[in-house]
Amino acid sequence: NRAIVCIVGRPNVGKSTLFNKLVGKRIAITEDTPGVTRDRIYAEGEWLGKYFTVIDTGGLEPENEEIIMKNIKRQAEMAIDTADVILFVVDGLEGLNSTDREIGNMLRKSGKNVIVACNKIDTPNFKNQVYEFYELGLGEPMIISGEQGLGIGDLLDEIVKHF
Ligand code: GDP
Ligand code: MG
């Protein structure tokens, strides 16, 4: 069975941008596949000869704050249930907030393989932004810029170590 990588994180941290960098082509998964809903996007990835399915849990993110929190929690639970590796994306420009902490607590308690990706570090000048994310207690955050395509190779190396 192919390894599953789930991308989780609050809206606007850059999950979908990163998803597109991590994968080749999107795959069609029909709605009668158990556990599949419209708010997830699936694609296949390959790195160093290892194949995996990436799930972007964000999908179409609603405006309403209460619904957003509910969705984030549901998505984190789905990731905990199905992923071999969870990619927890945080926003290095905005910094750590209470929603990140809540997601982080859920993931930490699950005991799953979690990689924190500190995104939007578009230049080395922003690297100090990463330190506060150690507070999540999920190990050393990886520094990336999904938009600039920085740190993606190192992130993939780390992901496939877990398969
Ligand atoms: P999602 O809601 O978590 O899926 O986030 P998106 O991938 O849709 O990105 C949200 C916003 O952040 C968009 O305006 C992106 O252009 C921007 N963004 C994503 N990745 C980066 C990055 O590495 N650096 C910067 N500066 N902006 C980014
Ligand atoms: Mg998205």
Cα 33 to Cα 5, 28, 30, 38, 65, distances in angstroms: 18, 10, 6, 11, 29
- Provide the domain limits for residue 87: 3-160
Q: Region 62-91: what's the mean pLDDT? A: 89
Look at residue 66 in the predicted model and tell me its pLDDT: 83
DSSP H or E segment with residue 119: strand 114-119
Inter-helix orientation angle 15-22/152-160, to 10°: 70
Torsions phi, psi for 78 (to 5 deg): -60, -45
Report CA(139)–ligand 2 centroid distance (Å): 24
Residues with CB under 5 A from ligand 2 (ion): 15-16, 58
Look at residue 137 in the predicted model and tell me its pLDDT: 98
Instruction: Output the domain CATH number for residue 101.
Output: 3.40.50.300
Strands 50-56 and 41-47: antiparallel
Atom of ligand 1 nearest to the CA of 144: 23
Check if 119 has its Cβ closer than 6 Å to any atom of ligand 1: yes
Q: How far apart are CA 93 and CA 6, in angstroms?
A: 22
Check if 58 has its Cβ closer than 6 Å to any atom of ligand 1: yes
Look at residue 63 in the predicted model and tell me its pLDDT: 66
Q: How many domains does the chain have?
A: 1
- The answer to whether the complex's ipTM is over 0.85 is yes
Look at residue 18 in the predicted model and tell me its pLDDT: 95
Look at residue 31 in the predicted model and tell me its pLDDT: 52
Report CA(1)–ligand 1 centroid distance (Å): 31
Q: Region 8-26: what's the mean pLDDT? A: 89
- Residue 98 burial (CB < 10 Å; 0-12/13-18/19+)? exposed
